[in-house]
């Protein structure tokens, strides 16, 4: 079975400050990890993914995420947050060894960036 | 940039009525999915579809649900007899190929309200 935990329902950060959104995962085998963002009344937009290779992955809009196998984490980061980054962020995992291609999502973290 | 398109964006239906949600996946993609998000809850996998048949489904996807690819471009989700608890945002998604490292791209969603 595969699962994702996002321990924070909401993260508040001042504009210009670093932003971190936490994610931990559980899979039987090795993971593929994804981050998606959902703006109000919109669909899920792909931000970045970890498949293999460098543990630090860079994605859209200046976001990056670090895969840490020993801590089973894949935290999303942005060095300097913008007000426009305010949205709902979802971490998702897929077990490489599991049959099928489905993603399992975390509960989401609402990010509020204040001017 | 190619995108997944969904119609309708919002539908209100009476309990017990049949609903069809429509999707046009990205044109060269091979895997198609439906996910749903009940208000305030996490995004949940419903079904995946490949090579004109269901490849995986969740326990949510019971006999009242069905999917179809009636032609070369559309992918539909039918709910045979809607219940109040079917009220949710339904996301169609597609991915390029069989490899589980492929990114899944989501549409904007169809809000279904069952009254």
Q: pLDDT, tens digit, for every residue of A20-63? A: 999 999 998 889 999 999 998 788 999 999 998 889 999 999 99
If you average pLDDT over residues B18-47, what whole number do you get? 94
Chain mean pLDDT for chain B:
93
Give, as one character, the DSSP assignment of residue B103. P
From the list A85, A11, A74, A89, the residue with the least C-alpha distance to A44 is A89
Give the span between the Cα atoms of A89 and A78, in whole angstroms: 13
If you average pLDDT over residues B69-81, what whole number do you get? 92
**Which of A44, A52, A99 has its CB closest to that of B106?**
A44
pLDDT of residue A66: 96
If you average pLDDT over residues A83-92, what whole number do you get? 96
pLDDT of residue A29: 85
Question: Is A94 near chain B, with CB under 8 Å?
Answer: yes
A93 within 8 A of A2, measured Cβ to Cβ = yes
| Cβ contact, residue pair B102, A101, below 8 Å | yes
Question: Is A5 near chain B, with CB under 8 Å?
Answer: no
Say whether pLDDT at B98 is over 70. no
**Which of A45, A52, A105 has its CB closest to that of B43?**
A105
Chain mean pLDDT for chain A:
93
């Amino acid at each position: 079975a595969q699962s994702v935990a996002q321990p924070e329902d909401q993260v508040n950060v001042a504009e210009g400050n670093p932003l971190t959104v936490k994610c931990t995962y559980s899979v039987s085998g090795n993971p593929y990890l994804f981050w998606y963002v959902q703006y109000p009344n919109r669909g899920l937009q792909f931000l970045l993914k970890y498949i293999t290779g460098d543990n630090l992955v860079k994605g859209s809009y200046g976001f990056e995420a670090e895969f840490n196998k020993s801590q089973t984490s894949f935290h999303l980061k942005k060095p300097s947050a913008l007000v426009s980054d305010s949205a709902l962020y979802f971490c998702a995992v897929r077990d490489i060894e599991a049959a099928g291609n489905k993603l399992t999502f975390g509960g989401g973290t609402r990010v509020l960036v204040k001017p | 940039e190619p995108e997944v398109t969904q119609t309708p964006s919002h539908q209100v239906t009476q309990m017990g009525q049949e609903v069809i949600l429509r999707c046009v996946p990205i044109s060269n993609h091979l895997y198609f999915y439906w996910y749903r998000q009940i208000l305030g809850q996490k995004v949940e996998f419903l079904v995946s579809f490949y090579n004109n048949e269901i490849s995986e489904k969740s326990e949510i996807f019971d006999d009242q649900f069905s999917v179809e690819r009636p032609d070369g471009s559309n992918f539909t989700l039918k709910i045979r007899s809607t219940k109040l608890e079917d009220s949710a945002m339904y996301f169609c998604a597609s991915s390029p190929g069989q490899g589980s490292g492929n990114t899944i791209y989501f549409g904007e969603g169809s809000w279904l309200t069952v009254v």
